[in-house]
Amino acid sequence: MRNVLLLTVVLVLAGCGGTLQPKRVPDVRGQRLDLAEDRLDARGLDWEEIGGGNLGVVIRSHWWVCDQQPSPGKLARTVRLVVERECPATEPPFPPVVPDVTGLNLEDADDELDRLGIAHDAETYDDDVPLIEHLWEVCYQDPSPGERGSYVELYVDRDC
């Protein structure tokens, strides 16, 4: 009976309070707070706001993410968003606009992102390692084309 009770307690504890796996952090700097939070939620990342003035953040779409911790591309479970009503001008300006590299082979996508100074990483759907880059095609990218970002996650396959 004691072993059954011990096994039950272990199973209950194993199913409760499990921590989220760390995920790559997207670049949400320069985005409206409501959109940045939606993007983090979609990635399965928790977030917290830092700032918000004396009254705090009331209307989320009126606030902007001026900085974030950890930085884009890092692994994390929670992202701290530094918010302001207006972000101060920074040098250099916010990250570049992400180009559309879906459909390109990985070698060409690497060249295009490197040219813009955008860090990137490629993941395959079956945990393969894309050693010969021109044989792999970019099937999906995050962030989407047209968004600003200093880091892009590329999802590649031999045939999309």
Q: Report the distance separating Cα 114 and Cα 108, nearest Å.
A: 10
Quick one: pLDDT at residue 15? Answer: 45
Query: How far is Cα 6 from Cα 58, in angstroms, rounded to an integer?
Result: 47
Whether the predicted pLDDT of 14 surpasses 70: no
Question: Residue 93 in 3-state DSSP?
Answer: coil
Give 95's DSSP letter. Answer: P
pLDDT (mean) for 128-139? 92
* Domains contained in the chain, CATH given: 23-84 (3.30.10.20), 106-157 (no CATH)
pLDDT recorded at residue 155: 95
The residues, ordered by sequence, that sit 6+ positions from 97 with a Cβ below 8 Å of its Cβ are 146, 147, 148
Give the Cα separation of 56 and 60 in Å (integer).
10
For tokens 């939606």, the residue is 38
Query: What does the pLDDT look like over 15-74, one tens digit per residue?
Result: 444 457 898 888 888 888 999 999 999 889 999 998 887 778 888 888 999 999 998 888
Q: pTM of the full predicted structure?
A: 0.53
